[in-house]
Amino acid sequence: MNGRPAPRAVAFDLDGTLVDSAPDIGHALNESLHACGLGSFHLQQVRAWIGDGPDLLIARALQALGRAGEAELQHTLRCGFDHVTLQAPLAHGAVFAGIQDVLQQLQPARPLVVVTNKPGVLARAVLDAAGILPCFRAVYGADEAAWRKPAPALLQRAAGELGLPAHELLTVGDSVADMRAAAAAGSPAVFARWGYGAEHALPAGPRWRIDRPAQLLDVLGAAG
C-alpha cells in the first residue's frame, strides 16, 4: 500500500453498503409525507437521494415538492421519519448478499466499525434488525451536521478510538461522500459497486472498486 502498513481495521458505510435499506427509507419518507398530506416518491427517486442522512433526504423531497425551506415542516417530517424507521427498521429491505459471510470472516482478525450519515440511534436499530450489530466494535452516526460525510470527523474519531492512525483504517462505502471522507481522513478506500452511489461522479480515488462483498477479502489479502 505505497509503503504504508496494511489496514488493521475496517469502517463500513451502512445504507447501500451493508444493507439494501432503500425500501425502508422510502417507506419511512412516504409515510411521513402522507401524514402531512403531501405526495410520495417512487423508490428509484428515493434511492438517488440516499447517502447524506435523513435531513438532506427530506430537504430534497421538499425541494421536489416545491416546499423547500419550511423549517417547521422539515422538523415534523423528520420526527415522523424516525418514528416509522424505529417501528420497523428493516421490514422491507435486507442485508446485501455475501455481507454476513464477509463480516464473519473479517471479525476475528480485525475490529470492524460502522461510519454512517444515518443518526446513531437509527443506524443501530437497522443493524440490530439486520442481525449484524454484534459484528461491530462501534457505530458512528452523524448525529450532528458537522460530522456528516464527506467530512472526515467520524472516520478520524473511529480510528482514534481504535488506537490507529487513519491510514490503517480501511473505508468501505458506496457513495462519493464516503470516498471524499476517506480521502480527507487519509483512509484507504474501497468503492462498493453494488450500492446506490453514482460511480461516474467519484473523485480520483478510490484505489479499489469491487463488485461483490467477497472481493473485500481479496483486497485485504493483497494489502496484507
CA distance 12 to 19: 11
Give the orientation angle of helix 71-87 with respect to helix 22-35, to 10 degrees.
130
Cis peptide leading into residue 7 (ω within 30°) = no
Secondary structure (3-state) at 45: helix
* Catalytic hit among 13, 15, 24, 178: 13
Grid cell at residue 172: 468501505
55 is catalytic: no
Secondary structure (3-state) at 76: helix
Secondary structure (3-state) at 70: coil
CA neighbor of 190 nearest in space, from 171, 218, 211, 214:
171
In the block, residue with C-alpha cell 445504507? 15
Cis peptide leading into residue 150 (ω within 30°) = yes
Grid cell at residue 55: 435531513
Beta 94-95 vs 19-20: how paired, if at all?
antiparallel
Active site amino acids = 13
